[in-house]
Amino acid sequence: MAYKKKTVGRKVNPDELLKREAYAIAMYGTAEEYLDPEERAAVDAISDLDEQSYAITPSRNRIGYWPSTFEVIEAPTSDKSHLKDQRDRAEQCGFHHPTETLVIVFRMPVKKNKVTGYYEPTGAPPPVYRYDDFPEEMWEQLKMSDSTGKFLKYNGVDNYNPRQTNFAQLAAEFK
């Protein structure tokens, strides 16, 4: 006796799905049309908060404020359009001129989900590294470089003994 493979649903081609979606929107409207004014105001307020809380400016980033004595730039990044993983590693760089201290904020650590194939946050805070006794001439070179990672790798910056830090420590030390 031969068993027949059961199928729960049938495959629908993408054009058919688009037609069905367009038909549903034409007949019933979009989900946003069903929000009452109070819900719509709440959704708008939340989206405004999200935009404000993650706005990265030269003096602020996702995890804290830079001490006012730092010169801060967006980290130079190379073109990654040809790579599968197009995320930039470094986000911001700051330099304290009197003590010649370089601080680099890296992106949040992520781990690839084997099931979905997407990168998901690990929950760990973004790494912040400081490099003491970093020459000002090298800071000027970093500002003009194409990539923070390549600059660190090819100019021997690891010889400056990077130490992990955080913005609370920076604020306490560099007032």
Phi, psi of 173 (to 5 degrees): -85, -40
**Distance from CA of residue 10 to its chain's centroid?**
38
What amino acid is encoded at 150 in this protein?
K
Domain ranges of the chain: 14-53, 60-173
Q: What is the DSSP string of 46-60?
A: HHHHHHHHT--BTTE
SS3 13: coil
- Low-confidence stretches of the chain (pLDDT < 50) are 49-56
pTM of the model: 0.61
Q: How does pLDDT run across 130-148, given as a tens digit for each residue? A: 999 999 999 999 999 988 8
